[in-house]
Amino acid sequence: MTTIENGSGTRELAGKRALVTGGSRGIGAAIVRQLLDAGAEVLTTARSATSTVAEGATFVEADVRTRAGAETLAAAAQEALGGVDILVHNAGGARPYESTSAIPDEEWQDQLDLNYLASVRLDSLLTPGMRERRSGVIVHVSSAAVPVTPPPFLHYTAAKAALENYSRGLALELAPSGIRVNTVTPGRTATPGGELTREQWARLDPAQGQNGTTVPLGRDGQPDDIAHAVLFLVSDRASWLTGSNLVVDGGEFPRG
């Protein structure tokens, strides 16, 4: 990989083409900024047009919950970038319900489409090109809530658990082709979407706090904390790392 020095430091991703889903705000926007700063050419997406995309990134409106949306995005990446070297699946989210039985069927399906099948579909469209080039990096973004499975979010954590399992299996399949696949698992992170979700949860269960005091490191994560982990995984510094799950949660959730 070519490295280029400029005024802000080493641009270790110079010449790389990246696609980031859900890159218009929060963690996704931070990932887009850091990839751009590292020299990558970046295309990102959201379900509706936005003015908050980082300067220098290409934006495509697409709904990754659908096969048609995935196909639109893959075609746009091919046209705008000529291919994808780095694929970051960040799009996701959920709202809590009072009980598992209160979650309607369509919400279960929506969560599977957004938090699991969106990655499966887009991977299937973009990995053939990576196989041909015998290189590429994929990062799936999960959730530190998966091992604790809070009932109001069971539809969400079930989909993210499926994503983690899929990510490990895909890593084994693609490793012989020189493609690395890893997962980043954020904990409690200060984003507009995260704050809204916690407010909704607190209305259902007032015992749920609204600050980071339960995090051993004493604060909520920031979007850049997660983006730094993604940047590491897509760089050559992680060239012997695949099938891993990098948990970035300030020590909040124990994992076996």
| Both tokens assigned to 142 | 């999960």
Q: Find the radius of gyration of the CA atoms of the chain.
A: 18
Angle at 100 between CA 115 and CA 165, to 5 degrees: 35
Bridge partners (DSSP) listed for residue 17: 41
Instruction: Count the helix, strand and coil residues of the chain and give each as a percent rounded to the nearest 5.
Output: 45, 20, 40
Q: Provide the 10 A C-beta neighbour count for residue 66.
A: 15
d(CA 109, CA 114): 9
Give the residue numbers annotated as catalytic, written as ranges. Answer: 156
